[in-house]
Chains A and B, each alone.
Chain A
Amino acid sequence: MFANFAQRRNLYYLISASVIVPGIIAMIYSTIVFGSPVRLSIDFQGGSLFLVKFNGPATETAIREVYARFGQSPTVQQLGDPAENRWQIRAGDLTPEQQVAIREALEAEVAPIDTDQSTFDTVSPAIGSEVTLAAILAVVAAGVIILGFIWLAFRRVPHAGRYGVCAIAAMLHDVLVTMGVMSILGIFFGWEVDALFLTALLTVVGWSVQDTIVVFDRIRENLPKHRHESYEMVVNRSVLETLHRSLATQLNAIFVMVAILLFGGLTIKEFIAILLIGLTSGTYSSIFNAVPLLVSWEKGELPFARRREASA
């Protein structure tokens, strides 16, 4: 079925677009409604987040009343089994004094707090915006360094720059898929992007590039060995040869992550879910985006590449 692998490249681009386009729409919607393409946690926005376990029933109204006295209108959400009395309360930035005062007021007026099983976080808005800037910088820096690295590793192959650009294109694909899915999950389930999400995103970037390099590496090796074959055939051959490895590796990653999803701690489940989506996208994009893109480029099918050849 993969005999003419590279021929169906328009289908592969279409599949990618069918995930990315809804994601982009979600990001635009999210920007209009929430002011950012993905819902941001207090890590990036500043504010306070209490994950409280009460030793007794609590009501949203009672919690709101306490916060209202401190001039706050929090987002209150019950988590998990209602019998466990776990609540997530998100509000504006609080000073340490306010934080303690609110905790005491909640204990007195709502229900006793099980501090052993609760967390209380505050982040000042100033550092939040600084973290956002640094996060964007980190992703851009990673992209530029990887581009240089691939260009260096493939410098003996004709059109070395193309490999770097195609790897980066696949990487952007995975970033868009991950961000888009996160945006959709944010709209429907209120998932928020925190520092851990950034970790997941950069891991996806690393994985995507790693996967792409393995396939490109085989093309690099096969090109001088099969001089009589067309570029498309060599690429085809290389993908088929590395397919077993790609699938086996992806399968193993899925084993570990599904195990964590099923049995792991509550706090990292969102992180692992995003990682799973991103890594799957990473495997897909290196085979079905990065490689077909190389072929499209070689054949002059890319708009910008064609223009350049026409003018030359």
Chain B
Amino acid sequence: MTLFPLIWLIASLAALGVVIIVRPSRHVTWLVIILSLTTFAVWCDLPDNPGIRLDLNGDGTYEIDKPIAIRQGLDLAGGLKVLLEADLPPGQEPPAGAMAEVRRIVSDRIDSLGALEPVVQQQGARRLIVELPGYQDPERAVSLIRSTALLEFVEFPYPIPAGTVVQTDYVRGSGAQPGEAAVTESPTPTVEATATAEEGTASEAAPSGQETAPTPEAPVYHTVMTGEVLAAADVTVDRATGRPEVAFTLTSEGAALFAEYTSAHVGGYLGIVLDGVVISSPQIQSAITGGQGVIKGNFDLESATQLATQLRYGALPVPLRVDSTSTVGPTLGQISVQQSIRAGLIGIAVVLIFLLVYYRLLGVPAALALMIFATLNFALYKLIPITMTLPAITGFLISVGTAVDGNILIFERMKEELRHGKRLGVAVETGFDRAWVSIRDSNLSTIIICVVLFLFGTSFGAAAVRGFAVTLALGLVINLFTAVVVTRTFLHFILLPVQEQALTARRWLLGV
């Protein structure tokens, strides 16, 4: 089965080559194209489709790895959906790129919730949609998404390179400052004290002889204090080197803690850790008692600004507020989708019967075309992939109605021409030609509506509206192919062996 795409591609190309050389009638050419597309679509529709995985150069890794599977929407799979918006004064837009940055940070954070295939999407200029399939607790998810950055001042035995992920003994949410119990005043007034940085990135972080070497297990470092004690943070420029740095001011409580710790640990390293990632590991060169300090590191202006913003507002460059939350139980969606798929199948079956009863022989190619229509649609849902929600399924069913309308338009026209005494061959040609204009105009107007619906759905995270618009529009486009080209080709081959006189004498076969 995994080899199918390759075989299919070769077979299709071979068939195309034959068509180009032999130049058969237009009907034969279309038949080849229809068969080729349908075969591929049927393969895609297989419930246990392995996806397209091709190892082109035989090195064991797949150069092409495209899964082909149904993507279930939240209303079917169950889970939590949260729509967040930049919490800015009305009229003020978030700075360029800020929302993309928020998206990235939120993605990282929700990974820890353990939801299967979480989705974080930016919607419009200031909204973010977070979908967590299988997850049910909005409070925990939202507090994690909106949580501010955790800044820690950590006791390091030696400088640790920036970017290293470290573990500390501080438990988030415990509230208390780690060193609170040990607050003591140590009034050593100095004019201006700053923690002078020793660049963590420059040294390879070899243990500098003091303390013990790191154990193979991840060591847990002691957190001296957290960002809770921070009063302000700003970008400044080091007068000596001209490099940007981040200056911070501590609250009076923090200043006391900081003074107490630094005076006791002169010569030690005080790591600055943001959300578990080392920013820099400056050495304490003197006691810092003024409640002010500077974080030096390998900063440029942009990264220094980012750090200052993160320290002030949390790691999100833009504060977020919750617009809407939606929690769906998993079983509810399952029942709903099973019922709706069954309902859809019954509906399509009735339509097929109608086509065969009302249009008799003409109904055969129309019924085949409708089945190919469904096959192609479903294959595209899996290939693109389109998130299947209940409204998306409904959009497909409505497009079935339109697909049938195309055939009805054509056949009614043919029957009219036959009643006017036209020969069968002429009636078929006229039917298609005349009906085409109606089908094109009416489908186009509905596609326009779908575009409007799609835009509306996109700007408000109304995934329901968007899903409906996408499947309906897709159905309309495919319908232009199946209702006209596919039906016409099949009709040609069905009428081919039939004597025209015989059929003209038995017009009931055509439902006239």
Q: Are A120 and B325 in contact (CB under 8 A)?
A: yes
Are B336 and A265 interface neighbours, CB within 8 A?
A: yes
Contact at A138–B332, with CB atoms within 8 Å? no
Q: Given A115-B329, A214-B438, A252-B401 in contact, is the A259-B347 Cβ separation under 8 Å?
A: yes
Q: Given the known A-B contacts A117-B331, A134-B459, are A145 and B453 also in contact in the complex, defined by CB atoms under 8 Å? A: no
The answer to whether A213 and B445 have CB atoms under 8 Å apart is yes
B409 touches A214 (CB 8 A): yes
Q: Which of B7-15, B60-68, B389-397 contacts A (4 or more CB under 8 A)?
A: B389-397
Question: Is B408 a contact of A120 with CB atoms below 8 Å?
Answer: no
Residues of B near A207 (CB, < 8 A) are: 446
Chain B residues bordering chain A, tally (CB within 8 A): 79
CB closest residue in chain A, given B139: A100
| Candidates B330, B354, B408, B442; contact of A116 at CB < 8 Å | B330
Interface of B, secondary structure class, is helix
A202 in contact with B464 (CB, 8 Å): no
Interface size class of A (residues with CB under 8 A): 35 or more
Contact B464 A255 (CB under 8 A): no
Q: Quick check: is A130 within 8 A (CB to CB) of the other chain?
A: yes
Chain A residues positioned under 8 Å from B55 (CB to CB) = none
Residues 250-272 of A, flagged 1 when their CB comes within 8 A of B and 0 if not, give: 01110111111011111110011
Q: CA A258 – CA B343 in complex, angstroms?
A: 9
**A96 and B460 contacting across the interface, CB-CB below 8 Å:** no
- Contact yes or no, B325 A99, CB < 8 A: yes
Interface flag for B313 (CB, 8 Å): no
Q: In the complex where A199-B453, A205-B449, A213-B441 touch, is A127 in contact with B324 (Cβ < 8 A)?
A: yes
Q: Which of A99, A114, A202, A260 contacts B347 (CB 8 A)?
A: A260
A residues less than 8 Å from B136 (CB atoms):
115
- The answer to whether B354 touches A263 (Cβ under 8 A) is no
Chain A residues near B437 (CB-CB < 8 A): 217
B451-486 at interface with A (beta carbon < 8 Å): 452-453, 455-457, 459-460, 462, 464-465, 468-469, 472
- Give the complex CA separation of A149 and B405 in angstroms: 21
**CA separation between A127 and B455, bound complex, in Å?**
16
A95 on the B face (CB < 8 A): yes
Q: Within the assembled complex, what's the spacing in Å between the Cα atoms of A204 and B394?
A: 14
Instruction: Please give, as numbers and ranges, the residues of chain B lying within 8 Å of A256 by CB-CB distance.
Output: 344, 347-348, 350-351, 397-398, 400-401
Whether B442 pairs with A255 at a CB distance below 8 angstroms is no
**Cα of A244 to Cα of B512 in the assembled complex, Å:** 12
Q: Are A118 and B325 in contact (CB under 8 A)?
A: no
Task: Report B46 CB to chain A, min CB distance, Å.
Answer: 25
**Bound CA–CA A266/B453 (angstroms):** 23
Contacts of B350 in A (CB 8 A): 255-256, 259
Binary per-residue interface labels of chain A (144-163) against chain B in the complex, 1 for a CB within 8 Å, 0 otherwise:
01100110010000000000
- Tell me whether B335 is interfacial, beta carbon within 8 Å: yes
Q: Report Cα–Cα, A259/B113, bound state, in Å.
A: 40
Distance to closest chain A CB from B276 (angstroms): 24
| Contact yes or no, B442 A210, CB < 8 A | yes
In angstroms, Cα B401 to Cα A259, docked, is 13
A112 lies within 8 A of chain B by Cβ: no
Within 300-339 of B, Cβ neighbours of A (below 8 Å) are at 321-332, 335-337, 339
- Are the C-beta atoms of A149 and B394 separated by less than 8 Å? no
Say yes or no: is A135 at the interface (Cβ < 8 Å to chain B): yes
Contact between A95 and B329, CB atoms less than 8 A apart: no
A195 adjacent to B339 (CB under 8 Å): no
Q: How far is the CB of A192 from chain B (nearest CB, A)?
A: 14
Closest CB-CB distance, A276 to chain B, in whole Å? 11
> In the complex, what's the smallest C-beta–C-beta distance from B338 to chain A, in angstroms?
8
In the complex, whether B412 has a CB less than 8 A from a CB of chain A is yes
A99: B residues at CB distance < 8 A: 138-139, 325
B340 within 8 A of A: yes
Q: Which residues of A (63-98) have their CB < 8 Å from a CB of B?
A: 95-97
Let me know if A123 and B323 touch, CB within 8 A. yes
- CB-nearest residue of chain A to B415: A244
* Distance to closest chain A CB from B144 (angstroms): 11
> For the complex, what is the distance from the CA of A150 to the CA of B464, rounded to whole Å?
29
- Residues from chain B with a CB closer than 8 A to the CB of A258 are 347
Of all A-B residue pairs in the complex, the 7 with the closest CB atoms, nearest first, are A265-B336, A259-B347, A256-B347, A206-B449, A210-B442, A264-B343, A263-B343
Q: Given A122-B326, A124-B323, A149-B448, 16 more contacts at CB 8 Å?
A: A99-B139, A100-B138, A115-B329, A119-B332, A120-B326, A134-B460, A196-B391, A196-B465, A210-B446, A217-B437, A217-B441, A245-B409, A245-B412, A263-B343, A265-B335, A265-B336
| Partner-B contacts on A (CB < 8 A) | 43, 53, 95-97, 99-100, 114-124, 126-127, 130-131, 134-135, 138, 141-142, 145-146, 149-150, 153, 195-196, 198-199, 202-203, 205-207, 209-211, 213-214, 217-218, 221, 241-242, 244-245, 248-249, 251-253, 255-260, 262-268, 271-272, 275
